[in-house]
Structure 1
Amino acid sequence: MPPLPNSIEARDIAFHLHPYTNARRHEEIGPIVMAKGDGVYVEDVDGKRYIEAMAGLWSVAVGFSEKRLVEAASRQMAELPYYHAFTHKTHAPVVDLAEKLIQLAPVPMSKVHFTNSGSEANDLIVKLLRYRANGMGEPHRKKIISRLRGYHGVTLASASLTGLPNNHRSFDLPMEGILHTTCPHHWREAHEGESEEAFATRCADDLEAMIAAEGPETIAAFIAEPLMGAGGVVVPPATYWEKVQAVLRRHDILLVADEVICGFGRTGEMFGSTYYDMKPDIMTVSKALSSSYLPISAVLVNERVYGPIADESAKIGTFGHGFTTSGHPVAAAVALENLKIIEERDLVANARERGVRLQAGLRTLSDHPLVGEVRGVGLIAGVELVTDKKARIAVQPPGALAARAFGLIQERGVISRAIGDTLAFCPPLIIDDSQIDTIVETVRLGLDELAGEMGMGR
């Protein structure tokens, strides 16, 4: 049924170009208009209520409509609604937040630079690595290795770091100097009979071979999510990070941990780097930093990274980078209050404890005729769908199966995300057991209906 003239839906179709959307398809079906949010729930303009099992976009840690964040924004808006950090200016919220992030960091860090999104933060890292290389008198050391199916954003540089075809197609990406090594997805990429440990060794060997082929002296850094999110919730195999970090140390290559999704409790630890015993030189944080109530992100660097950059800024006379709203005082104030809530309510422990229930619940679907693999850690999980379990393939075109499942589950009141043929789940850290059980049962019912449609009933 077409939307009514002058409705929000009709005006959205008329005026709004949506991210991650088939524009022509959107003209046909229009949007779902969300009107309210409360805790783990959102409600559309028709009054239908959903469990937001993706926390928006992997990000609303403390839930929707948290009054303390609203009040923090209001207080700061009334006192200092905006100021910048250019040319030796600062303000209390940005200083307090920088100090807090250094205190929380899983390894010693030196400085924090603020941006407005994870994409911008990772884009800046590309610039920082070039700036640092020039400052060290190593202008050849500027290549960055990422991974196939890794996700690091959508700007020109960060989309190049991203290892997903749809972020490259028709954008003429990736740009020069960005390389992609093996995706560490054991179920999908391992050889027949290859153990997780053996597969991890092969991934590390692939990385080492790439470094050798390119020349170690040309590689600035390796960037990776501790656990891959938007590439389909890919959990690294046992011993992966131990072996990869040994390769990086051997060749004096920096490690960049993209904590945009994993950071601030998602894995059941404050950072994914802690969960996997990673020792990054640079970290990217965003999303749950402010529960995405306001746009803010940050790049944390250690002294090994900061020193040459500071020296180069002295040589040139400035560090020629910054955004008008870098470290915005209202966003910083909201982020500080958000981190206080995460600590005071022990939401990291809640993610760890409720995560056990989420992972166990979803794994009860493993014998479903449409389920190939269930994977995840803490409160992040993926259910990969197939129509042939042995061949590990789904109906064509790719993504069609999960898209249909996503729709059936959403109709029943749970919002997930279809990534290829994987259904992703990443609920707010405040979720309780009964809400987790509702998610699992709703997914089961949706998959049962889909199997029935396909003549694959249990």
Structure 2
Amino acid sequence: MNKKKYWEADKRHWMHPWTHFDSFQEEGSLIMSRARGSRVWDNASKSYFDAVGGLWCTNIGLGREEMAETIAEQVRQLAYANPFVDMANEPAIALAAKLAELAPGDINRVFFSCGGSTAVDTAFRLVHFYQNCRGKQEKKHIIARRGGYHGSTYAAMSITGKAGDKIPEFDYIQDTVHHLSCPNFYRAPEHMDEQQFCDFLVDEFQQKIDEVGAERIAAFFAEPILGSGGVIVPPADYNRRIWELCRANDILFVADEVVTAFGRVGHWFASRELFDIQPDIITCAKGLTSGYQPLGATLFSDRIYEAISTGDPDRYFASGYTYSGHPVACAAALKNIEIIEREKLLQRVIEVGAYFEERLQTLRDLPLVGDVRGKRFMMCVENVRNKATREVFPESLNIGKWISDRAEEQGLIVRPIVHLNVMSPPLTMDHQEVDFVVEKLGRAIEQTHRDLVAAGHLSAPTKVALG
């Protein structure tokens, strides 16, 4: 099949996640053919630095021979094994034990699924199962945040608080899922400093507990750092204070670490190391295998396991997937973790991540850039129409896509999310590659500014200069 036929067949047959029908039919896709490390090549042989890391996931970089050999050997040895009831396989057992070793506190139990969304859906079901086993059948309500993203399966998308993803053509759980304010200080009321904003958010949670009733709230779902909702690092003691409220009111704290786990911000898990909280449940995926195989995991505490596994001798957990604990995926995850440990990639993220944050801050001098935020290898540029008022461009303009298209022309892939450009590069990124990303993104923003002026979307040009 030649390049044009691939492009045509893609439009004719493959409905992609988040397909925008009109633009897809007109423009089609950027089709990738191969990759090595942080570099990807399209099927016209053009090279790009992938500053998105696939989709927050290619942590160790692509094209690693030892990963290919590990996967191939496991296929030869045992390509599949039934995971149900009393059947098991060695890679899944070894991985479960390794995750228990890496996870904080008493999180020693693991339930495998196929990705982040199914890990969150499993957590949702586990929360209700746990509360019912305790005889607390009224504890069904879930609290989450606006701007939070938790996946695209039914329960996960219901818990998600991103307005742009909650389209009217789909249905969602409405009666038992509640959303609090997004902890984005850049969008806080003008009269509040960061501590006052944090106090407001904590008070809001307390008011929601009082309104719904602690006896009816089962769990709080939260990303330690919000990902596709805008790479939002909450105020300094926000996560800790929310967690303390959960503990005081018998509400489970579910840390959605699908993005933040396995090195994205310099730690195996962000909850304990960065925010001093001990979740009851952690969901993870993405960096668990660095995208080499589809795998998700729901990690939970011994306390939860004790509650669900005792009491009724006939009780069983009637939930699971054909590919739970898939031996090939688990073997890939074990090798991935070994590489992260051996190459000291967590420390690399801490060191190079500080430089990445510092260099990206220089883009604040550009007229479209309202905010630069994030942590280490999880960063975002927010583009605005007016820096003083923080007014954004109309959503229909899709300013983030304008910028990402111009970045791609220069060989850089960044992720557009309406007025944002998000970056989550492989953990192998070095200082020279940081400079490349910042230089090319800056030029893309400059070019977009000129194009907006020329198209009449902005008034007369302002002098543009990189800091």
When normalised by structure 2's length, the TM-score is: 0.95
Query: What is the match of residue 274 of structure 2?
Result: 275
Q: Deviations over 1:316-345 (max 9, x none)?
A: 442111100100000000000000000100
8 Å CA contact retained: 1:197, 1:240: no
Query: What is the match of residue 179 of structure 1?
Result: 178
Q: Deviations over 1:375-420 (max 9, x none)?
A: 0111110000011011111221356211111111111111111122
Matches within 5 A, 1:60-71: 60-71=58-69
| Corresponding letter in the other structure for 2:177 | I
| Corresponding letter in the other structure for 1:166 | G
Matches within 5 A, 1:347-386: 347-386=345-384
Correspondence for 1:214 among 204, 212, 215: 212
8 Å CA contact retained: 1:221, 1:253: yes
8 Å CA contact retained: 1:109, 1:301: yes
- More moved, 374-383 vs 402-411: 402-411
Provide the secondary structure at the position in 2 that maps to 1:13.
helix
Query: What is the match of residue 286 of structure 1?
Result: 285
Q: How many Å apart are 1:32 and its aligned residue?
A: 1.0
- Aligned-residue Cα RMSD (Å) equals 1.5
- More moved, 172-181 vs 234-243: 172-181
Provide the secondary structure at the position in 2 that maps to 1:444.
helix
8 Å CA contact retained: 1:406, 1:417: yes
Q: How many residues align?
A: 454
Query: What is the match of residue 457 of structure 2?
Result: none
Matches within 5 A, 1:256-405: 256-273=254-271, 274-311=273-310, 314-397=312-395, 400-405=398-403
Provide the secondary structure at the position in 1 that maps to 2:201.
helix
CA distance in 2, matches of 1:370, 1:288: 32
CA distance in 1, matches of 2:101, 2:397: 42
8 Å CA contact retained: 1:387, 1:395: yes
CA distance in 2, matches of 1:136, 1:72: 42
8 Å CA contact retained: 1:384, 1:423: yes
Correspondence for 2:119 among 115, 118, 121: 121
CA distance in 1, matches of 2:247, 2:315: 32
When normalised by structure 1's length, the TM-score is: 0.96
Q: How many Å apart are 1:4 and its aligned residue?
A: 8.1
| Corresponding letter in the other structure for 1:293 | Y
- More moved, 61-70 vs 327-336: 61-70
8 Å CA contact retained: 2:379, 2:423: yes
Over 3 Å counting, the alpha-carbon distance change for 1:239 and 1:422 in structure 2 is: same
Q: How many Å apart are 1:453 and its aligned residue?
A: 1.8
- More moved, 174-183 vs 380-389: 174-183
Q: How many Å apart are 1:6 and its aligned residue?
A: 6.5
Q: How many Å apart are 1:269 and its aligned residue?
A: 2.0
8 Å CA contact retained: 2:113, 2:324: yes
Q: How many Å apart are 1:75 and its aligned residue?
A: 0.8
Over 3 Å counting, the alpha-carbon distance change for 1:113 and 1:166 in structure 2 is: same
CA distance in 2, matches of 1:350, 1:318: 43
Provide the secondary structure at the position in 2 that maps to 1:360.
helix
Percent of counterpart pairs with the same letter?
35
| Corresponding letter in the other structure for 2:288 | L
CA distance in 2, matches of 1:280, 1:397: 36
Q: Deviations over 1:34-85 (max 9, x none)?
A: 0001000100010100011010000000001111111110110000000021
Provide the secondary structure at the position in 1 that maps to 2:367.
coil
- More moved, 232-241 vs 42-51: 232-241
- More moved, 105-114 vs 396-405: 396-405
| Corresponding letter in the other structure for 1:51 | F
Query: What is the match of residue 31 of structure 2?
Result: 33
8 Å CA contact retained: 1:394, 1:401: no
In the alignment, structure 1 residue 227 sits paired with structure 2 residue 219: no
8 Å CA contact retained: 1:97, 1:335: yes
Q: How many Å apart are 1:315 and its aligned residue?
A: 4.1
8 Å CA contact retained: 1:409, 1:446: yes
Correspondence for 1:194 among 192, 195, 209: 192
| Corresponding letter in the other structure for 2:67 | L
Gapped runs of 5+ residues in structure 1?
A: none
CA distance in 2, matches of 1:184, 1:368: 25
8 Å CA contact retained: 2:393, 2:419: no
> Following superposition, which runs of at least 4 residues in structure 1 exceed 6 angstroms of deviation?
3-6
CA distance in 1, matches of 2:410, 2:346: 29
CA distance in 2, matches of 1:349, 1:310: 38
Q: How many Å apart are 1:129 and its aligned residue?
A: 1.2
Gapped runs of 5+ residues in structure 2?
A: 454-460
Provide the secondary structure at the position in 1 that maps to 2:41.
strand
| Corresponding letter in the other structure for 1:17 | M
CA distance in 1, matches of 2:309, 2:360: 48
Over 3 Å counting, the alpha-carbon distance change for 1:202 and 1:399 in structure 2 is: farther
